[in-house]
Homo-oligomer: A and B are copies of this chain.
Amino acid sequence: MTDVKHQLFEQFAIVAKALGHVHRLDLLDYLAQGERGVDGLARATGLSVANASQHLQNLRRAGLITSQKRGLQVFYQLAGEDVVGLLGALRHTTERHVAEVDRIVAGYFNARDSLEPVSRAELLKRSHEGLVTVLDVRPSEEFQAGHIPGAVNLPLKDLEKRLKDLPKDQEIIAYCRGPYCVLSFEAVAALRNKGYTAHRLEEGYPEWRASGLPVEATK
């Protein structure tokens, strides 16, 4: 009778529980950029390989990611774009109802975020007019796995020394891993310092892709 509901709720709980750990959210954040091997994920997140492996298995058991072995490595990937949506919903209600978020965001971002970010729709419009340089500041590994069509890859850590690659007469819109990814904040701040007109894209690459907009990958 009501037994069915509880069996289903148990499944929902397993999925929610899988999302209930910082390290697993972190792993999902990286996987949302593109597939990766265990070793790469462990290095990106700073976890030991064994620990990362266990967390990844947890996520797989919950159905949030899938894996397949190719050659020596096991590659993990998000089970689907809807997982990005679920993470977005989690972020959204947390932002909305947890006061702590405001405090954290205000403390670290506000100084930089004074100029409002650009939405996806706006980026599309402005880039159709051809007046804008779209800048991807993620590491090139992630850029190669997938990026916004026409974007220029210039990882944050190389930004200083490769500044001359950027046209100074065009507006620059920077993006990275997601709405709270610090890379694009830093990039915009640095670019403004150098006299560029720079803005941040409101969200990151995973949200762009999940919304069904076209993407481009380097072979």
Contact = CB atoms under 8 A, between A and B. Distances in A.
Interface of A: 1-2, 4-22, 25-26, 29, 62-64, 79-80, 82-83, 85-86, 88-94, 96-101, 104-105, 108-109, 180-182
A64 B83 contact: no
12 contacts: A4-B104, A4-B109, A4-B182, A5-B26, A6-B22, A6-B26, A8-B180, A14-B20, A14-B98, A15-B90, A63-B93, A63-B94
A185 B88 CA distance: 32
A33 B214 CA distance: 40
A17 B17 contact: yes
Contacts of A15: 90, 93-94, 98
Q: Which 4 A-B pairs have the closest CB atoms?
A: A17-B20, A63-B97, A16-B19, A89-B89
Contacts of A64: 93, 97
Nearest to A97: B63
A180 B86 contact: no
A91 B12 CA distance: 6
A85 B91 CA distance: 12
B109 A93 contact: no
